[in-house]
Amino acid sequence: MAKLIIFNFKMAPASLIEAREIFEIFNKFSKKIKSNKLVVAPPSVYLSEAKEKIGDKCFLGAQNVFWFNRYSMTGEISPKMLKSLKAQYVIIGHSERREYLKETDAMVNAKIKACLKDNLKPVLCVGEKERRDKDSASSISVKKILFEQLNHALQGLQIKKPSDLIIAYEPVWAIGSGKPQDLKEVEKIIALIRFWVARRFSEKLAKNLPIIYGGSINAQNILSFLDLKEGAGVLVGGASTNKNELIKILKKL
């Protein structure tokens, strides 16, 4: 089955020249990729360059969006601006934005609504901050954290088609730590999220909604995460802008 691989560049690389080199890598190595779907989400200042350079096998994503198409909002980027650059995906509610920019659940909810209104696909990030023993999936507090995040983020929303939304399970402790969540736990937590989706929306949506995993994905472990039965793909952070690691990843897909 085709899997979704989203590359979140975060705030890297530091220059347009380096960004171009990375886009060329995507262009070159994505040509042979048949079934998997690649989404490149660079910093917004590089989006238009990415659109020109990543090639037609890769799709474009943004790392943030404002929740209105209004004029008076210094420094922000509107859904319509992203649409005009042919971006299709937007990462929303990443733990780094929640923590350092104080992005609240209400903001996350408003951003998802804005995306759906303008036909952008939100990639909603959820995940617990601390590692709970080994079996996170049976931890009541992990379940509570995830369900609360989902409840708030999707409050008042009707998700009709599985292609309208992507949920990314990103345990915060696994991000940038070199220690990904255990594969079996990821499988169980994705199943837990599907259970929530079935209760809140429908069984049918729960079965088909793409739910992906993010946190310390690299060339060595990516295939095992892509093989997960319950999982629809991965969200890659650091490895997206590390040229050697990126080439190794793209060669494996």
Report the catalytic residues: 94, 170
For 1, half-sphere exposure in the C-beta direction (CA atoms, 13 angstrom radius) is 12
Q: Does 235 bind ligand 13P (CB under 6 A)?
A: yes
Q: What is the DSSP letter of 89?
A: E
Q: Does 128 bind ligand 13P (CB under 6 A)?
A: no
Q: Does 237 bind ligand 13P (CB under 6 A)?
A: yes
One of 175, 206, 209, 253 touching ligand 13P (CB under 6 A) = 175
Q: Does 233 bind ligand 13P (CB under 6 A)?
A: no
One of 238, 246, 249, 250 touching ligand 13P (CB under 6 A) = 238
Strands 166-169 and 121-126: parallel
Considering beta carbons, is residue 186 or 206 the nearer one to ligand 13P?
186
239/250 Cα distance (integer angstroms): 11
Q: Which residue is nearest to ligand 13P, using beta carbons? A: 237
68/84 Cα distance (integer angstroms): 15
47-86 footprint of ligand 13P as x/- string (CB under 6 A): ----------------------------------------
Is residue 197 within 8 A of residue 209, CB to CB? The reply is yes
134/186 Cα distance (integer angstroms): 11
Is residue 235 within 8 A of residue 170, CB to CB? The reply is yes
One of 106, 119, 138, 176 touching ligand 13P (CB under 6 A) = 176
Least separation in angstroms between CB 218 and ligand 13P: 8
Q: Does 217 bind ligand 13P (CB under 6 A)?
A: yes
140/165 Cα distance (integer angstroms): 26
Cis peptide before 13 (omega within 30 of 0): yes
Site residues (vs ligand 13P, CB under 6 A): 8, 94, 170, 175-176, 214-217, 235-239
